[in-house]
Every structure is written in structure tokens, then in C-alpha cells.
Amino acid sequence: MSDADKTWWPLGHVVGWVRGTHPDSPIRKVRVGLEARCRSGRIRARGRRRIYNWDRFPKISHTDIGFVLCSEEYSYLDPSPEPIRAGEWRDLTFFARPIHQPGEEYLKGFERALNQSNVPVELRSKSKYRLAWIDVEFLREDVVREWPNEGFAAEPTPIAQKIAGSPFEAIVNGSAEARPSARRMAPAADHQLRTWYQQRMRELSARGETSSGEQDYVAAKQEFGKRVTRARLRAVREELAPEQWRQQGRRAARSES
């Protein structure tokens, strides 16, 4: 494993870190805490995307024994990991392949699997009824910041001091869902904005669609909120958007003048 790869932690490393402070934390609770923090953009994650050859997919419950088989039959895995955008997490949740034992109900094996950390970490789409990501990892520096570990520090970090005794303490301990705060949220990083826009281009191009500058800005605000400005989005669009898209934006600007 390279030094760069060590900056990304699998679920087992995250669980080990959290248990340094909360030794009795069940793995399922750690999953809930991770999901909330990823959804709010406080912990960044990456993984291998499951790509589907067609979008008309049967609605099969994730508790159905055919859920995994159907997802695998109609998809293939991207060989390289990529960032999982915070906006995508609104439709994602953890999935674990049931560990079945003879004579036991299928759901029991499903619950047992969610309490394991030594299995491949997968995410499923709640709206599309299918598997979406596998081999999910979490950025080490974000995990360490969100779960200050007294066992590895001589004194609490500044963020831990702010959290202790406040309503936000329940969020850090995983007993409440993290919510984004415009006051705390820093501007979206350049690499986040570029990665999001590249993914948007791929999705629209696959459907044979284009996008104007205003449409891009509306989509960016939905994804990043106040963390992105029109000027930053315009610069990314000028750099990455196909010429056809940029001409569309110029025509719209001339018609408004």
C-alpha cells in the first residue's frame, strides 16, 4: 500500500479509530454515523462505481434474495476508484451481503452482515433499487476530525473542545444525524467542483443532452449550496465544457443583453 493510499481508510480502520474512544460502539452505529457525515460533506469517501448498461431496472427490495444477483447481472464495476459526491449520498445507504446460516431467516444474515467490518463496503441506491458502489473508503483526516480520539491525543483538539457539552456532541457520537451548516461549511474545493462537473458532463452526454451556463449554475447550487459561486462555476465551465455547451451559454447571454 502506497503512502497516498494510506490516507484512505476502509471501514475496519474507521471502526478501530472510533472504538479508541467509544469501545462499545457497534459497527452498525458507526455505519450510521459515517453515512450522516458523508451526506453532509463532512467526511469524504471514494469507491468503485457500479455502471449499468440500461436504466430501466426492476424494483427489487434489498432484502430480497435476488437483489444482489440482479444488480450484478446488469452491471459492471469501474476498475478505478473515484470520489463519491456529497449530493449522491442523499440517495445512498450502506448494504452488506447477508451472511447466511442453515435454518436461519435471510434477514437475520443481513443484520449480521451490517455488523461486520471485514467485508467489502457496498452502497445501494434507495431510489433505483440496485447496488451502486463497492470498495468504499473514507478520508482519514476527515474521520480523525469528526471522531476525536482521546486515546491518541494528549489533550482534546479545538474542534473536540467546541463539541463537548454542546448539542452537536450527539452527532459526533453517532446518536443523531449530522446536518450541514452554512456557517461552518468552507467553499467547495477546486477538485470537488471539477470532479462534480466532469461527472455531470458524462451523465448528460450519455443521455444526448447539453447544458447552458445557467442550468449548470442551478445544478451546482443544488449540489454545493452556498459553497460555490457563479464566478467559480463559470471558470470551471470555460475550462471543461464542450465547445457546443459554451456556445449555447454565449447565445443565451447575447439574447439577454
Residue-wise pLDDT tens digits, 161-203: 443 444 434 433 444 444 444 444 578 787 888 888 888 888 8
What is the per-residue pLDDT for 219?
A: 87
Question: Positive or negative, the Cα torsion across 136, 141, 145, 147?
Answer: positive
Over 60: is that where the pLDDT of 91 sits?
yes
pLDDT > 80? residue 150: no
Phi-psi map region of 103: left, alpha, beta (phi>0 left; psi -120 to 50 alpha): left
Question: Which three three-digit cell numbers place residue 13?
Answer: 480502520
Q: Give the pLDDT score at 59.
A: 81
> Average pLDDT for residues 145-154, to the nearest whole number?
60
Residue type, 213: G
* Structural domain boundaries enclosing 23: 5-172
- 93 pLDDT tier (thresholds 50, 70, 90): very high
Query: What pLDDT, on the 0 to 100 scale, is given for residue 67?
Result: 87
The predicted structure's pLDDT at residue 149 = 59
Question: Are both 101 and 65 inside the same structural domain?
Answer: yes
Give a yes or no: residue 181 inside a domain.
no
Segment 79-88 shows an average pLDDT of: 93
Count of structural domains within the chain: 2
- Tell me what pLDDT residue 143 has: 93
- Cell numbers for 189, please give them: 474545493
* pLDDT tier for residue 254 given thresholds of 50, 70 and 90: very low
- Tell me if 148 is assigned to some domain: yes
- Residue 89 and residue 63 share a domain: yes
Distance in angstroms (rounded) separating the CA atoms of residues 74 and 12? 29
- What does R_g of the chain's alpha carbons equal in angstroms? 21
Contact (CB, 8 A) for 156 and 164: yes
The amino acid at 215: Q
Question: Is residue 206 one of the residues assigned to a domain?
Answer: yes
> CA-CA distance, 43 to 155, in Å (whole number)?
23
Pair 37, 147 in one domain:
yes
Residues 153 and 201 in one domain: no
Mean pLDDT for the chain? 78
> Same structural domain for residues 157 and 218?
no
73 in a structural domain: yes
Higher pLDDT: 75 or 57? It is: 75
Which of the pair, 83 or 57, is modelled with greater confidence? 83
